[in-house]
Amino acid sequence: MPNGQWYPPEWPDRIRALAHGELTPVQPRRAATVMLLRGGPLAVHMLRRRTSMAFAGGAYAYPGGGVDPRDDARRIGWAGPSRETWAARLGVGADDAQAIVCAAVRETYEEAGVLLAGPDADSVVRDTTGDDWEADRQALVTRDLSFAEFLDRRGLVLRSDLLGAWARWITPEFEPKRYDTWFFVAALPEGQRTRNASTEADRTVWIRPAEATAGYDGGELLMMPPTVSTLRALLPYAAPADVLAASAARDLTPVLARASLGDDGEIVLSWPGHDEFTKRVRTGGATS
C-alpha cells in the first residue's frame, strides 16, 4: 500500500535537468514553522493546504512561512533566552536568530490565531479574538504592518521562552521555490484557541501524532517528509512540557535531499538519515 508521501510529477525532469547542469539552484529563503501542542493526550495542530496550491496542495502541514525582511531590521520587545542564545542554538547570527524566531511567532498568529507574546516576561495574551485583533492580523498578513510595529502597538513582548527548536530542513536544490526552515515546538497558551485563519488552508485539526502518522502510512493523509519526520519524533512523549524539555537536545543539523542519476537513467532521491523517504524513479517515470 502506498503511503502519503508528497511527490510532485515534475520532480524527475527537474532532477535530470539539475544533474545535466541545465538548472541552477535558487537560494533558499529563511523560514519557520511551529508545531503547536496541547495535552490530554498529546496532540498537534495541523492544517491542510488547499488542493489549488502550487506547492504541496492537499498536504497536511504546520503553521509557518518565510521571514519578513523587517523581522531583523530593528530590535523588538523580547523576553526569554537572548538573541545571542538563540543564535548559538540555531547556528546563525543574532539578527538572523531574531528574524527566524519572529517568523515562527508571527506566522503562528497569522495562520492559527495563536500569539506567543504577552505584556511582560511572565504573562501571555489570553484572548486574541475581536475585530481590532483581526484587523491587526490582516495587516500582518498583507505586510502593511511589521511584527515589531504590531508588538509596539499592543505593548507586548515576544515570549521566546515558549518556543523550543526541534529540527531544520532545507528544500531540495531542484525545487523552484526553496526554504531553509527551522521547526519549533510550543504549547498552546492557556486561554487561547486555534482557528483556521490561513487563506492557504481548507481544514485544520488537532490530531495525535500516532493517528497522524498512521494516516500517512495508510496513504490517507498526504504529507511532506519533514512533516512526517517531526511527527514521528513526537511519538515517545506524553505531554507538551515533555516535548519542550526534550527540544534542547535536538540535533539541528540541516536535512537536505540528495538526488543521484544512474547510468540506466534511474533517479535515486534520498534524505540523509531518513531512509523511509527514499524514492527510486526508473526510466519511464515508475517510482518505488
Binned at pLDDT 50, 70 and 90, residue 252 comes out as very high
Q: Is the pLDDT of residue 213 over 70?
A: yes
What is the C-alpha separation between 1 and 219, in angstroms, rounded? 7
Between 50 and 44, residue with greater pLDDT: 44
pLDDT of residue 74: 75
- Report CA torsion sign: 179, 182, 183, 184: negative
Q: Is the pLDDT of residue 173 over 60?
A: yes
DSSP state of 273: T
Q: Is the pLDDT of residue 69 over 80?
A: yes
In percent, the amount of the chain with pLDDT more than 90 equals 68
Closest CA to 99 of 147, 170, 151: 147
In which element (H, E) is residue 33 found? strand 29-38
Q: What is the mean pLDDT of residues 234-242?
A: 97
Average pLDDT score, the chain:
90
Q: Domain 25-253 - what CATH class?
A: alpha beta
Q: What is the mean pLDDT of residues 282-288?
A: 59
The number of C-alpha atoms within 13 Å of 4 and in the hemisphere containing its C-beta is 23
In percent, the amount of the chain with pLDDT more than 70 equals 94
CA 250-78-246 angle, to 5 degrees, is 15
Q: How buried is 254 (Cβ within 10 angstroms: 0-12 exposed, 13-18 middle, 19+ buried)?
A: middle
Most confidently modeled of 126-130, 172-176, 235-239, 256-260? 235-239
What is the C-alpha separation between 150 and 76, in angstroms, rounded? 10
Q: What is the mean pLDDT of residues 50-66?
A: 77
Q: Per residue in 13-25, pLDDT tens? A: 888 888 888 989 9
pLDDT of residue 285: 53
pLDDT of residue 9: 79
Q: Is the pLDDT of residue 53 over 50?
A: yes
Q: What is the mean pLDDT of residues 235-255?
A: 97
Q: Is the pLDDT of residue 58 over 80?
A: yes
pLDDT of residue 57: 65
The number of C-alpha atoms within 13 Å of 146 and in the hemisphere containing its C-beta is 15
Q: Per residue in 124-155, pLDDT tens? A: 999 898 899 999 999 999 999 999 999 999 99
What is the C-alpha separation between 122 and 132, in angstroms, rounded? 24
Q: Is the pLDDT of residue 200 over 80?
A: no
What is the C-alpha separation between 125 and 236, in angstroms, rounded? 30
pLDDT of residue 284: 56
Between 20 and 168, residue with greater pLDDT: 168
Q: What is the mean pLDDT of residues 113-118?
A: 96
Q: Is the pLDDT of residue 82 over 80?
A: yes
pLDDT of residue 145: 93
Which triple of cell numbers denotes residue 285?
Answer: 517515470
The identity of residue 270, as a single letter, is: S
Binned at pLDDT 50, 70 and 90, residue 1 comes out as very low
Q: Is the pLDDT of residue 34 over 50?
A: yes
